[in-house]
């Protein structure tokens, strides 16, 4: 009976690994099946469940299952009933699969819109595999390191994230990340660099930000943005108070990296849809 209960409440998939996914309840005693991949048979019209995926990896598949499950739970208003998602992976071998890794990911209140945005990037063939792996890493860990990696990867691969979704991603980070990302001075320098990059002027600065890990490098980058902006548009982008605020955030090397990620976000990742005039 325990085995039958397990089978009825687990999502099984096979990619480069065998993967079983189970939901851990919090405020309910109801076992709930996570998202399963399915489609309609063209000949019979019957709904068929898909378990095998040949051109993907376990991390992308796991992220898709997680996001689809959260999306469905949000639409049904039952997301608070579940605490974690348990992933069990088995490595294929010549005889029988070997236990590889077991991990849990917390159930996070991602909006339906954010789930759809991330899923579209995971499922589109035009999106770089590097971006897909970075999204999957963040979805399955929700930590500061994976968020930084996501921002850098999107910047390098020119993958943009819409304003509302980016703001939600920022709101899910810790207070220090939110403080730096929401700084008007940081936004100011980031949007200034965005203008330079659009005019084919700021690529070297973008590369420098991808490798910015100490306050000396950060100070030089901000100075270079200001000077390059003046050279091209005959005005400085930043006043002394803006520079002082940005440098004031850099109490540790980790803070410097967060500042670099924030500038990259507003210069190369963040975009705002223009409202259509009636």
Distance from C-alpha of 177 to C-alpha of 165, rounded to nearest angstrom: 16
What are φ and ψ of residue 161, in 5° steps? -130, 130
Helices (H), 25-174: 58-76, 112-123, 129-141, 144-156, 163-171
Asked whether 14 and 55 are in contact (CB, 8 A), the reply is no
Q: Is residue 128 predicted with pLDDT exceeding 60?
A: yes
Confidence of residue 130 (pLDDT cuts 50, 70, 90): very high
Distance CA 168, CA 136 (A): 17
* Half-sphere exposure in the Cβ direction for 196 (13 Å, CA): 30
Q: Quick check: 116 and 93 in contact, CB under 8 A?
A: no
Task: State phi, psi for 50 to the nearest 5 degrees.
Answer: -100, 130
Q: Taking a C-beta distance cutoff of 8 angstroms, is the pair 12, 38 a contact?
A: no
CA distances from 171 to 102, 147, 167 (A): 28, 12, 6
pLDDT digits (tens, 9 = 90+) for 43-53: 777 888 888 88
Contacts of 129 (CB under 8 A, 6+ apart): none
Q: What are phi and psi of 104, to 5 degrees?
A: -120, 145
Report the pLDDT value the prediction gives residue 141, as an integer from 0 to 100: 95
To the nearest whole number, what is the mean pLDDT of the chain?
90
Query: Degrees (nearest 5) of the Cα angle 263, 269, 273?
Result: 120
Q: What is the dihedral sign for C-alpha 116, 117, 119, 120? A: positive
Which helix H or strand E contains 23, and what residues bound it? strand 18-25
Q: So what's the pLDDT on residue 41? A: 76
Identify the band that residue 15 occupies on the pLDDT scale cut at 50, 70 and 90. Answer: confident
Whether the predicted model's global pTM rises above the 0.85 cut: yes
């Amino acid at each position: 009976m325990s085995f039958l209960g397990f089978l009825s409440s687990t999502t099984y998939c096979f990619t480069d690994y065998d993967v079983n996914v189970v939901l851990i309840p919090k405020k309910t005693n109801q076992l709930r099946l996570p998202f399963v991949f399915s489609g309609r048979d063209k000949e019979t019209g019957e709904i068929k469940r898909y378990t095998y995926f040949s051109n993907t990896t376990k991390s992308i598949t796991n992220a898709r299952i997680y996001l689809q499950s959260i999306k469905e739970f949000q639409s049904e208003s039952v997301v608070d009933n579940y605490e974690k998602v348990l992933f069990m992976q088995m490595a294929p071998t010549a005889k029988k699969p070997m236990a590889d890794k077991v991990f849990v990911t917390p159930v996070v209140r991602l909006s339906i819109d954010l789930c759809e945005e991330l899923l579209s990037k995971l499922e589109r063939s035009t999106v770089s595999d590097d971006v897909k792996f970075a999204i999957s890493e963040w979805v399955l860990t929700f930590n500061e390191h994976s968020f930084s990696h996501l921002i850098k990867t999107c910047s390098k691969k020119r993958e943009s994230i819409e304003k509302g979704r980016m703001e939600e991603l920022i709101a899910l980070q810790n207070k220090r990340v939110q403080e730096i990302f929401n700084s008007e001075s940081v936004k100011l320098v980031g949007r200034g660099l965005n203008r330079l990059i659009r005019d084919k002027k700021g690529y070297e600065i973008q590369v420098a930000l991808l490798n910015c890990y100490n306050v000396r490098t950060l100070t030089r980058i901000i100075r270079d943005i200001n000077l390059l902006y003046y050279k091209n548009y005959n005005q400085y982008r930043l006043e002394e108070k803006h520079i002082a605020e940005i440098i004031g955030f850099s109490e540790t090397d980790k803070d410097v990296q967060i500042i670099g990620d924030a500038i990259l976000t507003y210069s190369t990742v963040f975009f705002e849809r223009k409202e259509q005039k009636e």
